[in-house]
Chains A and B, each alone.
Chain A
Amino acid sequence: MVKWTDFECATIQDIFSKIDYDVVGPAALSRCLIVYPWTQRYFGGFGNLYKAAAITSNPKVAAHGKVVIAGLEKAVKNMDDIKTTYKDLSVLHSEKLQVDPDNFNLLADCLTVVVAGQMGAAFTPEGHAAFQKFLAVVVASLRKQYN
């Protein structure tokens, strides 16, 4: 069982209440596809991903970015048991989507960079640590059903 301090709980709720989902989700996903281009392997049906500009303006990437952040919101709302909340998502990523789980860390890093850019100095080291812990739990939960 993951133990969250009051500060960590409050920080995660606070960060997710402040960020614009419609901006952050698409920005994180497109940044991941640009900075780590091998992640494009999972998005063969998304059309033009040849250049950074194409990725940033690709409507399928944007739509999927929103799907990803909506998935994260489930974890934010169920911080006491992210593992169980994500059981089906983990099976989906493992068996149907067949995503190498190391990629989850790449997307997590890009999400951190985007959130940091949005929040500026309000993204303090302590808040950053709470966010990093949250993402680590999310990634571990998504890895859980892989075998």
Chain B
Amino acid sequence: MTSLTAKDKDTVKAFWAKISPKAAAIGEDALSRMLVVYPQTKTYFSHWKDLSPGSAPVKKHGATVMGGVADAVAKIDNLTAGLLNLSELHAFTLRVDPANFKILAHNILVVLAITFPSDFSPEVHVAMDKFLAAVALALSEKYR
């Protein structure tokens, strides 16, 4: 869709600075929610023993995902180049249908609303939504 403006990037970086201490918990909650609210996403994790909210694999993977988001914030000025390796991983190894990136992004936003009710204003919401969409686009880069 649209590319990130300078204002978007500033908003994302400032908000990320605020939320990054809770990044792992946010990732765990977002992933837990995604698996419960959109059960079709469970198909990617059939190798996990326990898919319930807050389980060990969900906790670990939530932290991994948010590590990727942190990386994306650091590379916000060139997401396509910065996320090349992650894109190859998702395209060739994981083969996640890119429609699911949108689903996970929505769940991250819901968790941000729960965790930071006064900071997650409409202005921050739109910047974060655009940012996560841009990350999804960069992750889809190597698919075909």
Contacts and interface: CB of A to CB of B under 8 A. Distances in A.
A129 B36 contact: yes
A125 B53 contact: yes
Contacts of A129: 36-37
A131 to B, nearest CB: 8
A55 B123 CA distance: 11
A31 B106 contact: no
* Chain B interface bracket (under 10, 10 to 19, 20 to 34, 35 or more): 20 to 34
A53 B10 CA distance: 19
Contacts of B129: 35
B113 A116 contact: yes
B142 interface: no
B50 to A, nearest CB: 14
Nearest to B52: A125
Contact of A116 (B32, B110, B121): B110
Contacts of A117: 113-114, 117, 120
A126 B126 contact: no
Interface of A: 30-31, 34-35, 52, 55-56, 109, 112-114, 116-121, 123, 125-126, 128-129, 132
Given A34-B123, A52-B122, A128-B36, 14 more contacts: A31-B125, A34-B126, A52-B121, A55-B122, A113-B109, A114-B113, A116-B114, A117-B114, A117-B120, A121-B114, A125-B32, A125-B37, A128-B37, A132-B38
Interface of B: 29, 32-33, 36-38, 53, 106, 109-111, 113-114, 117, 120-123, 125-126, 129
18 contacts: A35-B122, A35-B125, A35-B129, A56-B122, A112-B106, A112-B110, A116-B110, A116-B111, A116-B114, A117-B120, A121-B114, A123-B110, A125-B37, A125-B53, A128-B36, A129-B36, A132-B37, A132-B38
